[in-house]
Structure 1
């Protein structure tokens, strides 16, 4: 090979030797971790010791170094931002100014750390003015965070260009993390710490100093909960306890408002971080879209004195319903607590106690280092004072040595005893001062040799010695150190404590859909083709008996009304069907419609099978009692049974079995009883039997029951009624041709069940068959609905009291081909007292003119 041939490339030589091979996934993982930790520790999360992120800490330290304290004049915000950015925080000026502005907002910080002058934004979301227009200085409480920072109380680190030093943490004379809270989003984690009342947090910290074994519950005796700068209310204490116990929780915050004069709702405090202007806009949008009803005007009357948003209500609007609508959509928010902070540079979720423990450890270290620094300073001063006192005791000799020394350095050396000064061959007295003492003595002025100056030096020396003893005691005894921490915290409390702004109210449950529905009595109509609707009860005024009533519903061709009943919109109702099933539904879930509307298919509300019809409705309000209650059911074929209401606690959306039925049988009626009542069974053919309830034993839901009445061929059960022994009652019977009667209940003597019973009413061609039998009392109103959709409301007292086995009187005038489909009884409270008084005064027991009332013989057959 020729000598000038190129060398063979050696990959192990030169620059290539410095290249390292790495797997890309490992490099990406490590680089991302480095980036994440840089964001976590250097930008996004607060330190548990002073509660500040680096940008907050750097702004305050830059202001401190520039002398922009609470006692100085305000300085342009742009100047503060520039110094912070140039010396300590190498990021954009907008981020620094946003932080500065937030520290000046009294609606963002519970105790603002910056005293701003100018426009720093508003609760309406208005941004601060440009930094060149605003001015700022430290707030007095911010100085407490930096107090004693020059006394070696905290560690310092180099700034970003190694030109200056900045503190790693501030001394923080109070637990700022809890007092002002913090929020931030890091990589893979975030923090959201609510602000608290300064006095409460300090009281809890002092309690922890005195009782290191205190629990979170003990500390909560002092820290009641977050205290937001905008006030408002925290709903419930359980979420607060969870947040303090675990470091995480969801706190419901509700606006402060009141109803004035029943026609306006005035909002005076908003949940923390709620944008007022946006809130008013959202409410207005919901009103315009019909999501919130009952509001006619909305005004923002807020000024410098506080928030005032006025919601004017329409005439007749239910203020409680509007209030609940506002609560559900606008006046409540959730504050998600994540008590995450840096502890020794690592992110940790902390409980309330852990947060205060970490702060106390920091504060103890600050006081210890401050005391050590001051002790060294005092010991140096004591050493100087000792030298001065010694010099004053030998003032003549000291002056002679200094005066006869060749130079200042010779004088210092002579005072240190390093050589002897001679005068005329005679040595002057020698001394053993230290270098610092000698330097000080040589620099003393002649005026300090007076007797007064000497007394002052002695007094100062005694004070310094006393302070040294105190500092040594603090450093040598942890209890003494804790006492200093406690006393300084209490001084901060005395200086800056104020009243709590956020109230804590009991949790009465979240606003449900039911709260948004006005509670009122309604009439519910169900048809044979399973159309259902509700109408306000006051749609139907009471009329005299014998009228036609008014239209209650429009029917499609071939459909007829099957049942009508009265209930409150907030009632839970049990719907029993002819198939023996039972379903559960809230009345307000039935759509509200006009009298002339057809209704909505019940299939959309109840999972009914083909041919399944609602035959009875029970209000669960009647089942609420400390006494045991039963659902007593009867079938068309005369069977009857009782089942405890406890068997009906968990009703599925598809319904559950209420009773077992024979193939040719159907459920006819249901009543709520208590085991001690009498029952009355009425048949279509006009027979009725009364017997004691305890003759029917309690059974399960799947049982068929026992015989209640012995029916004639072709007859069937029409209704079941229960006798209330605590109320004066009559037996009211209505027939399908619109006739009816009211009979004293005592005319129905008690028999044994499964008898044929007594004749209740004549069921001839005029009357038709029995449609309904009810037990009624003074003040009750009768609601009669025809198959063609007419509804008549009339007081039961309009029907004269007559005997059994009579024809009765006209109750409702029906058109040709129409018949009574359903009857319900309602007790209107507002009319009850007058009705009861009339009943007690007595009334004519005879027949109304023109109506036949023929008494007949009792027909009884008491066979079992």
Structure 2
């Protein structure tokens, strides 16, 4: 029987789709469970959990000495986290940053970065140890409170989750991007979280709205002012998705004689101060907020950003309102509570579900620690029973140890007289594991290891007292394990102890982020914040734009670059919006106050708006509110658009006229009459009512005039009763009062233009 090629080579075959799909799914699950999403129970990702566990193994307690970060990073990488040391150090450094973590888990010594956005120093220069909060997360780890698993190479063991004495997931927040999902949880106040947890213990059916009464919103390490309304916060906490508006904290500082300045003392969370200063400087340079004159960074250890108004008459509320809209002095912090439930299942949870996952975890930790303690007590009681027997039969014990060749076996064979403990009744007595009169192996070994100095009367009394206390403790633990009510009472007691160390009554636990109403931001139009001055706008053939001060003579000669010359020139004001229409059918706009001065040759228009290099400028005009414009293409299609619909809001402009291959935008004209006159490159003129044109915000439009060859040359609106006027080559005004010969329906061919019409087929 012949074998197949797969059997000979030991290879198997499968479809590429299945192979890639299976491997990508494995990668996705690994990213979700072991890298990006935190565990709802202790709020940590694997790298953070391994960092804290490695520091614990190095005995770096909060009251001990520091160790080099390079040593810590090396131990984490070598023992538990086989990834890059740079990634591990970055994660550890963030745990030490008091501007990134509401309750830092690492106590760093050295340069661990700053609020300006500077990176930490290299790991060989910094030192670290655990913070008290990290010890609270690790408390009870030696008491079989959580499961352990082998590390990546099977040589060591690491905890699957930490016991977590407080809800760290919400206290310090988390963020991460996985495959197909992400998480972003802002930090909260431990005191408020514990108050909410206690309320849920008291009433397991506590509503989401009632829970928000205890946890009114996030509490960021950098402070700031939370200006989101209560209804939005409740909805975000109820669904697990939403966002919060966070503003900088500021105050008006009086300088005397009517002068004042604004001082920003707290900036929003995760905003680098240096980047914020750069953004504010850019706002001043681009005159986005003309009310602001200057910005200075006078920060030392505390944040102090000084904002100078342009005039003492400026309203500080209006100024800050404009800055909130145009800078990172106000940011939106998103909420997406996508976490791992029980370390396995990703789920977008509500605030109540996250706290419930923490409380259920604390109950499991309590039960496991209690059972572990009972095992220790049972073992100790067994040993104490043996010690007491030894004291009651001391001469016989000494005789066996002195003369017997195998004293342990002899002690276990001997029948010993027993007495019940004095402090307890016979009913409460817990008998030893073996039958009456025999010592267990554990008891015999303990007796043999006993020190001679323990053979005194006082030690016997101490043993009996210790036995009585342990039996009472065991009875209490057994009663708690049998009563769910007592279990929750114990958990509440533990949470109250945590609140004593980290709660709102402590200096570090006080709420830093204020809760306030956003108020109504006064949205002043840009022109209202600019000094209104006359200017003359000049745009050259090569696209260089400038603005001369005042209304100069448009016929006066101006200087241009070699090979360049004038194309557009008109009078305007600094408050005007200048509209640019490109042959790609898009409108662009510039504020008159933002145009370059007229001392030089100006600046390229393409540097100020995103006008493509292959796009020609069709027209430049002043934007007028309420005005209606005719836009048309070289193919003779067009429509009417309002000035408001044509006004762009970004540098990229706004697409209004749709043009196809080989077709370009030809013109834009204001609608000033009741009829439209259209002339083609074939010199045929057509007049029809403007009412036949549709009013649209965007599109190709309708056919204005029919052409056999050529395309649209020009168009103008007019009042039909006044006839058509144009200028001849000599500059004389010509007039055709009766347009009945050329009046027809839209989209017809028209008739030859009247005698004397310009040879370039243009009305002006």
Tell me which interval the TM-score lies in, with the shorter structure as reference length: 0.5 to 0.7
SS in 1 for 2:214: coil
Post-superposition CA distance 1:663-700 (Å, at most 9, x none): xxxxxxxxxxxxxxxxxxxxxxxxxxxxxxxxxxxxxx
Which residue pairs with 1:5 in the alignment?
Answer: none
User: Matches of 1:517 and 1:109 in 2, distance apart?
Assistant: 43
Post-superposition CA distance 1:622-680 (Å, at most 9, x none): xxxxxxxxxxxxxxxxxxxxxxxxxxxxxxx99xxxxxxxxxxxxxxxxxxxxxxxxxx
Which residue pairs with 1:379 in the alignment?
Answer: 378
Which residue pairs with 1:314 in the alignment?
Answer: 310
Which residue pairs with 1:721 in the alignment?
Answer: none
Which residue pairs with 1:276 in the alignment?
Answer: 273
Change (3 A) 1:517 1:361: farther
Structure 2 residues without counterparts, runs of 5 or longer: 417-435, 504-508, 533-550, 555-574, 576-590, 595-620, 631-694, 697-764
Q: CA deviation at 1:218?
A: 1.1
Post-superposition CA distance 1:410-460 (Å, at most 9, x none): 43343478xxxxxxxxxxxx9411111111122223332321111111110
User: Matches of 1:102 and 1:443 in 2, distance apart?
Assistant: 49
Q: CA deviation at 1:189?
A: 1.0
Q: Which has the larger radius of gyration?
A: 1
Which residue pairs with 1:794 in the alignment?
Answer: none
SS in 2 for 1:337: strand
Change (3 A) 1:278 1:12: closer
Q: CA deviation at 1:187?
A: 1.0
SS in 1 for 2:90: helix
Match 1:605 to one of 623, 626, 634: 626
Answer whether contact 2:400 2:411 (CA < 8 A) is retained.
no
Answer whether contact 1:322 1:516 (CA < 8 A) is retained.
no
Answer whether contact 1:263 1:319 (CA < 8 A) is retained.
no
Answer whether contact 2:40 2:341 (CA < 8 A) is retained.
yes
Match status 1:303 vs 2:300: yes
TM normalised by structure 2 equals 0.65
**What are the residue-to-residue correspondences of 1:166-565 with 2, within 5 Å?**
166-237=158-229, 238-261=231-254, 263-304=260-301, 306-316=302-312, 318-320=314-316, 321-330=318-327, 331-344=329-342, 345-415=344-414, 431-497=437-503, 498-509=509-520, 511=521, 513-514=523-524
User: Matches of 2:6 and 2:65 in 1, distance apart?
Assistant: 66
Change (3 A) 1:126 1:82: same
Change (3 A) 1:53 1:602: closer
User: Matches of 2:402 and 2:69 in 1, distance apart?
Assistant: 58
Match 2:46 to one of 54, 78, 81: 54
Match status 1:138 vs 2:159: no
User: Matches of 1:387 and 1:602 in 2, distance apart?
Assistant: 100
Answer whether contact 2:377 2:474 (CA < 8 A) is retained.
yes
Answer whether contact 1:263 1:315 (CA < 8 A) is retained.
no
Post-superposition CA distance 1:480-526 (Å, at most 9, x none): 111111111111110112210001111335x463387769999xxxx
Relative to structure 2, which stretch is displaced further, 106-115 or 242-251?
A: 242-251
Post-superposition CA distance 1:754-796 (Å, at most 9, x none): xxxxxxxxxxxxxxxxxxxxxxxxxxxxxxxxxxxxxxxxxxx
**What are the residue-to-residue correspondences of 1:460-859 with 2, within 5 Å?**
460-497=466-503, 498-509=509-520, 511=521, 513-514=523-524, 604-607=625-628
Match status 1:108 vs 2:104: no
User: Matches of 2:72 and 2:98 in 1, distance apart?
Assistant: 20
Change (3 A) 1:521 1:122: closer
User: Matches of 2:525 and 2:460 in 1, distance apart?
Assistant: 84
Answer whether contact 1:105 1:112 (CA < 8 A) is retained.
yes
User: Matches of 2:593 and 2:530 in 1, distance apart?
Assistant: 12
Post-superposition CA distance 1:310-336 (Å, at most 9, x none): 011223452343222211111111111
Q: CA deviation at 1:9?
A: 6.5
Q: CA deviation at 1:591?
A: 10
User: Matches of 1:416 and 1:136 in 2, distance apart?
Assistant: 58
Structure 1 residues without counterparts, runs of 5 or longer: 1-7, 418-429, 523-552, 557-568, 570-589, 594-599, 610-652, 655-864
Q: CA deviation at 1:50?
A: 0.4
Answer whether contact 1:416 1:435 (CA < 8 A) is retained.
no
Change (3 A) 1:30 1:317: farther
Post-superposition CA distance 1:350-369 (Å, at most 9, x none): 10000001111111001110
Answer whether contact 1:415 1:438 (CA < 8 A) is retained.
no
Change (3 A) 1:34 1:57: same
Change (3 A) 1:9 1:79: same
Match 2:150 to one of 149, 158, 163: 158
User: Matches of 1:139 and 1:13 in 2, distance apart?
Assistant: 58
Match status 1:11 vs 2:9: no
SS in 2 for 1:162: coil
Q: CA deviation at 1:206?
A: 1.0
Post-superposition CA distance 1:720-761 (Å, at most 9, x none): xxxxxxxxxxxxxxxxxxxxxxxxxxxxxxxxxxxxxxxxxx
User: Matches of 1:269 and 1:153 in 2, distance apart?
Assistant: 41
User: Matches of 1:603 and 1:520 in 2, distance apart?
Assistant: 17
User: Matches of 2:70 and 2:286 in 1, distance apart?
Assistant: 46
User: Matches of 1:211 and 1:394 in 2, distance apart?
Assistant: 56
Q: CA deviation at 1:470?
A: 1.4
Match 1:87 to one of 63, 74, 79: 79
Change (3 A) 1:138 1:486: same
TM normalised by structure 1 equals 0.58
Change (3 A) 1:409 1:592: closer
Change (3 A) 1:410 1:603: closer
Match 2:27 to one of 24, 31, 35: 35
Q: CA deviation at 1:102?
A: 0.5
Post-superposition CA distance 1:606-636 (Å, at most 9, x none): 4599xxxxxxxxxxxxxxxxxxxxxxxxxxx
| Moved >6 Å (runs of 4+) | 519-522, 590-593
SS in 1 for 2:331: strand
Change (3 A) 1:411 1:12: same
